[in-house]
Amino acid sequence: MNTKILDYNIFNGTKKEFFNYIKKYNKINIVSGNPEVLYNGLYNKKLFDNFVSKYSIIIPDGVGVVLASKIVKNPVKEKIAGIEVMDDILKMCNKENKKVYLLGTTEDVLDKCIDNLIKKFPKLNISGKHNGFFDMDNCENIINDIKKSEPFALFVAMGCPRQEVFISNYMEELPCKIFMGVGGSFDVFADKVKRAPKWMIKMNLEWLYRVAKEPYRIKRLIAIPKFLLKVLLHK
């Protein structure tokens, strides 16, 4: 159930099919594949190796990736937003009493995120948490804490490539089944950042809303035409 874009295998089913698909994995690293992340991966070996690992599955999180799948004439069925996948995993963990661990962002945002998640999912077992400000080459205390808490899912919100490097470094050592780099998702759950209105999300205009709210993001949009040009030339 994949579409080949450049050297990446992109999951091309629906979100519902995605959750059935990942059940076969003992360990899975869910990569939110937007054009910026995938383009950067082409020039960063650590990132690239993470994205093409046997443990990884890339979801088409971005209109640019949806367009790229059409360019290679094997379109994905739908855009799958990383934050929605995280939300669905949390919903499942709440229902099935599975533990989750939250790693990343600042202490105040992390605490607010947890408060809101508990309100939304009253039975959610958050077995551990730590902010994202630490030395990744000297973090045995965090690794031991994750091991001790034995989470089913580990969500890492430290931005690309830091979150992917952390997952690459410690995935085999840690007992979790699901690993996921979630970027700014903790900020959204903490109500620090708002998602676009549903009509904009439906029309694939969430990127426009985010740029309007955070104009500094406009510099990052250059990755989209660069990525699409790369796909066209590779085709």
Q: What is the pLDDT of residue 193?
A: 83
> What is the per-residue pLDDT for 235?
66
Query: SS3 string of the chain?
Result: CEEEECCEEEECCCHHHHHHHHHHCCCEEEEEECHHHHHHHCCCHHHHHHHCCCCEEEEECCHHHHHHHHHCCCCCCCCCCHHHHHHHHHHHHHHHCCEEEEEECCHHHHHHHHHHHHHHCCCCEEEEEECCCCCCCCCHHHHHHHHHHCCCEEEEECCCCHHHHHHHHHCCCCCCCEEEECCCHHHHHCCCCCCCCHHHHHCCCHHHHHHHHCHHHHHHHHHHHHHHHHHHHHC
User: What pLDDT, in 10s, does the model give residues 104-120?
Assistant: 999 999 999 999 999 99
Below-50 pLDDT ranges, the chain: none
pTM: 0.93
What pLDDT, on a 0 to 100 scale, did the predictor assign at position 99?
98
Per-residue pLDDT at 124? 98
CA distance 13 to 201: 19
Q: Using one digit for the tens of pLDDT, what is the confidence trace for 182-215?
A: 999 999 999 998 777 878 777 776 776 676 766 7
Residue ranges covered by each domain of the chain: 2-234
pLDDT at position 123: 96
Per-residue pLDDT at 202: 75
Sheet with 125-130: list strands edge to edge. Answer: 2-5, 8-11, 56-60, 28-33, 178-181, 153-157, 99-104, 125-130
So what's the pLDDT on residue 185?
Answer: 95
pLDDT at 194 (0 to 100) = 78
